Amino acid sequence: MTTARIVKCPSCNKAVKWTAKNASRPFCSERCKLIDLGSWAAEEHRIADTAPPDFTSEDPDTVI
């Protein structure tokens, strides 16, 4: 099968062909890949800094 799967770039939402040739998949480009990894790392760091250490699925608001 030669039909390329189309995915959305997680960084800019552009349609991207998922092919073996696209080394940056699922991103449209190496640039978007780096942008996304950078923001993810920043976000992760920020959450780790502010989230309460005991935040789990036992939160009564999420159970019910």
Contact between 32 and Zn ion per CB under 5 A: yes
CB of 9 to Zn ion, least distance (A): 3
Residue closer to Zn ion (CB basis): 7 or 12? 12
Residues with Cβ within 8 Å of residue 23, at least 6 apart in sequence: 30
- Residue 59 is inside which H or E element, if any? none
Contact region for Zn ion (CB under 5 A) — 18-26, 28-36, 37-45, 51-59? 28-36
Other Cβ atoms within 10 Å of 7 Cβ, number: 16
Write out the residues near Zn ion by the rule CB under 5 A. Answer: 9, 11-12, 14, 28, 32
